[in-house]
Amino acid sequence: MSNSVEQLHAQLSQIKKGLFMMGPDRVRAMSTHETEDLIVELQTVTDQALAELANLKSE
């Protein structure tokens, strides 16, 4: 796999893990502060993944 595809896979895996941590099947409830921090982190990862995808489309 190309580096871009590997990077997108890692980013999507990170998003999936974060959503699981906030979902109904989580091991423990997160505090409001932890949840807000995770949301900001996932937004950043999502922005990076979208930029990487746009870069792949332009190649």
Burial of 13 (0-12, 13-18, 19+ CB in 10 A): exposed
Identify the pLDDT of residue 59.
Answer: 80
| pLDDT tens column, 3-37 | 989 999 999 999 999 999 999 999 899 999 999 99
Angle, helices 32-58 vs 3-22, to 10°: value is: 160
**Under 8 Å between Cβ of 35 and 22:** yes
Confidence bin at 1 (pLDDT 50/70/90): low
pTM of the model: 0.86
Task: Count how many Cα atoms sit within 13 Å of the Cα of residue 44 in the half-sphere of its side chain.
Answer: 6
| pLDDT tens column, 13-22 | 999 999 999 9
